[in-house]
Chain A
Amino acid sequence: SQQGEEDPQALSIQEGENATMNCSYKTSINNLQWYRQNSGRGLVHLILIRSNEREKHSGRLRVTLDTSKKSSSLLITASRAADTASYFCATVPIGAAGNKLTFGGGTRVLVKP
């Protein structure tokens, strides 16, 4: 079973627009991370936000975390065609054995030139 669920499952936008995707999770966490995957290959770490943080920025990325609602959002500003990829949230639940990351099902983003 997957801890996180992303919404929407798919997103299509024009280059230059902003893309927002959301992640909900079920249990208390140590941190939440966002990863990007191109064409079904390896995942690339984008950003990590800890449970005591509410917002974090990295370049064109903005992540928020609301632990009371068990949800997070990823905003990509001024999107580019190269941002086309699948985006996954991943959580580290408190007390999880083996320090495993639990991934959601992903949001598939298409940025049209």
Chain B
Amino acid sequence: ETGVTQSPTHLIKTRGQQVTLRCSSQSGHNTVSWYQQALGQGPQFIFQYYREEENGRGNFPPRFSGLQFPNYSSELNVNALELDDSALYLCASSLVGRGVSEKLFFGSGTQLSVL
């Protein structure tokens, strides 16, 4: 049990729709990262938020956006959903500044299916 909670656990959307995924970080953590994990692959870094500002982004288009709130909870928004967006979306929190990452605490993920 990491203390990182994600909602919903499962979600089905159709192509072109928009989706918002939510994450509540572990208490005391100030950094949240989002990862996309396609079936049978390792997680791919989407972006990271530190003190409500984006602090690094992976190779994902602008239709992937996020927010971090003052209580360190976070949202991942994906617009104009495509079939390839079907994946497990993982949120991870940590307590770091702008230095090197130490270990991440992951939530159980949201399984998104785009039909």
Contact = CB atoms under 8 A, between A and B. Distances in A.
Interface of A: 1-2, 4, 30-31, 33, 35, 40-45, 48, 88, 90, 92, 96-106
Interface in B1-52: 2, 4, 31, 33, 35, 37, 39-45, 47-48
25 contacts: A2-B44, A40-B37, A40-B109, A40-B111, A41-B109, A42-B107, A42-B108, A43-B92, A43-B106, A45-B105, A97-B56, A98-B45, A98-B54, A98-B55, A98-B57, A99-B56, A99-B100, A100-B33, A100-B48, A100-B56, A101-B43, A101-B101, A103-B44, A104-B42, A105-B40
B88 interface: yes
A76 B54 CA distance: 37
Nearest to B46: A100
B90 interface: yes
Contacts of A1: 59
A101 B100 contact: no
Which of B48, B56, B100: most chain A CB closer than 10 A? B100
Nearest to B39: A40
Given A100-B101, A102-B45, 6 more contacts: A2-B42, A2-B44, A43-B106, A100-B45, A100-B58, A101-B104
Contacts, number: 84
B92 to A, nearest CB: 8
A31 B99 CA distance: 12
Interface in B70-108: 88, 90, 92, 96, 98-108
Interface residues of B, number: 38
Contacts of B98: 99
Nearest to B58: A100
Nearest to B37: A40
B114 to A, nearest CB: 17
A40 B39 CA distance: 8
A99 B44 contact: no
4 A-B pairs with the lowest CB-CB distances in the bound complex, closest first: A98-B56, A103-B42, A99-B101, A100-B45
